[in-house]
A and B are shown apart, each in its own frame.
Chain A
Amino acid sequence: DAGVIQSPRHEVTEMGQEVTLRCKPISGHNSLFWYRQTMMRGLELLIYFNNNVPIDDSGMPEDRFSAKMPNASFSTLKIQPSEPRDSAVYFCASRASGRGAGELFFGEGSRLTVL
């Protein structure tokens, strides 16, 4: 299996620009999670989907962030407009149906730098 695939791996952009991060979960997994990792705040859950439906977006920092999952094999996290404080590594993770909450499979992350 190819694992969770994220793109781009690195993104450098200027403040005010739109950023779109992409994720392809493991085939057959029905839950998808977006996390943000920073030195100051560690790993934070932003939003998660079950069967393509957003379940809890309480971790999304503000309205500048949005996430979609149009089908079982693709999700996006969009930041518009981006700000320097959004600089972080963004991880996508997926989980198979019926598995315990701990068994998340993470992608390699998208490192975002907003200048």
Chain B
Amino acid sequence: QQQVKQSPQSLIVQKGGISIINCAYENTAFDYFPWYQQFPGKGPALLIAIRPDVSEKKEGRFTISFNKSAKQFSLHIMDSQPGDSATYFCAASWTYNTDKLIFGTGTRLQVFP
């Protein structure tokens, strides 16, 4: 119940295309859903986050869509660029134990020119 399932494992997109990464969870107590971006040889870095009181959050070319009833959330990268090539992790946590982030297994995104 504490898992966050992420798909696909890898994704290849052409420059200018839309990249979509999906995550699903079981624990309805989760109330914070961040996405992390990791470049090779670097640590993960917070990209964007959402709480379940909104269905969508957009920051530049990055958008999180959240479906509370389906217990799913996704990351959309519009106009994907080669510089977006990285591994993306979704994660979840809950207010009463905010120190524990449960990470998805990661999606390796490659954007080709």
List chain A positions with a Cβ less than 8 A from chain B: 4, 31, 33, 42-43, 45, 48, 50, 55-56, 91, 93, 100-109
Query: Would you call the interface of chain A mostly helix, strand, loop, or mixed?
Result: strand
B99 touches which of A4, A43, A48, A108 (Cβ 8 Å): A48
Bitwise interface map of B from 28 to 39 toward A, beta carbon under 8 Å scored 1, else 0: 000011100000
Is the pair A107, B32 in contact by a Cβ cutoff of 8 Å?
no
Is the pair A108, B105 in contact by a Cβ cutoff of 8 Å?
no
Is the pair A101, B43 in contact by a Cβ cutoff of 8 Å?
no
List chain B positions with a Cβ less than 8 A from chain A: 32-34, 41-46, 49, 89, 91, 93, 98-101, 103-106
Closest chain B CB from A88 CB (angstroms): 14
Is the pair A106, B93 in contact by a Cβ cutoff of 8 Å?
no
Is the pair A108, B104 in contact by a Cβ cutoff of 8 Å?
no
Known contacts A42-B104, A43-B89, A55 near B46 by CB under 8 Å: no
Q: Which residue on B lies nearest to A44, using beta carbons? A: B103
30 CB < 8 A contacts A-B: A4-B43, A31-B99, A33-B99, A42-B89, A42-B105, A45-B100, A45-B101, A55-B99, A56-B100, A91-B43, A93-B43, A100-B49, A100-B98, A101-B93, A101-B98, A101-B100, A102-B32, A102-B33, A102-B46, A102-B49, A102-B101, A103-B46, A104-B44, A104-B46, A106-B44, A107-B43, A108-B41, A108-B42, A109-B41, A109-B43
Q: Which residue on B lies nearest to A95, using beta carbons? A: B99
Is the pair B43, A102 in contact by a Cβ cutoff of 8 Å?
no
Residues of A near B34 (CB, < 8 A) are: 102-103
Name which of B98, B99, B105 has the most chain A CB atoms within 10 A of its CB: B99
Closest chain A CB from B33 CB (angstroms): 8
Is the pair B32, A100 in contact by a Cβ cutoff of 8 Å?
yes
Q: Which residue on A lies nearest to B100, using beta carbons? A: A45
Q: Which residue on B lies nearest to A103, using beta carbons? A: B46
Closest chain B CB from A4 CB (angstroms): 7
Q: Which residue on B lies nearest to A111, using beta carbons? A: B41
Residues of B near A31 (CB, < 8 A) are: 99
